[in-house]
Amino acid sequence: MPALNKKFPWMSYYNNYNFFEDRMRSHKKVNSIKKISDSFYEIDLVDGKIVNVFICECYSFGVAEYYECVEKLEKFDAIIINSNWCGYTMEVKRYCREHGVGIFDIRGFMAALNLNNFWEYLTIEEKASFQENDWL
């Protein structure tokens, strides 16, 4: 469910992603960041890989929101939930992970970029939830 903006792509309350952009510019695995549209970025990694990122504020991002993104966006590799008061369900984390798409908050994405298969990154809490549900 979108937080403030009911119109896709669920833009930031502040209409910018400055914090995200700053974090990406300071990450040792990021060569460059390019803003493609209001909520879509191309992250060029130092190893030559390109990661297409959809970033949004969505109060509770679930599988339905994922399908809406698939329907409205071209290829994307990661979804970043850009707010401390917003989040995503473990079901969508599992679904995205199985399809090679990462879903993270900014902190999780920063950590995930250190992995070759960044979409597989799980926080300690997510790993516990996956184990509890026999998903690992």
Q: For the chain, what is the domain count?
A: 1
Range of the domain at 25: 18-130
62 vs 22: CA distance, rounded Å: 27
pTM listed for this prediction: 0.86
Domain annotation covers residue 49:
yes
Distances from the Cα of 37 to the Cα of 3, 16, 65, 114, angstroms: 20, 11, 19, 25
In a domain, 135, yes or no: no
Collapsed DSSP state (helix, strand, coil) of residue 53: strand
Question: What's phi and psi for 39, nearest 5 deg?
Answer: -135, 20
6 located within any domain: no
Residue 4, domain member (yes or no): no
pLDDT of residue 5: 44
pLDDT for the residue numbered 33 = 97
What pLDDT was estimated at residue 3? 40
**Does 5 reside within a domain?**
no
Each residue's pLDDT tens digit, 90-127: 999 999 999 999 999 999 999 999 999 999 999 999 99
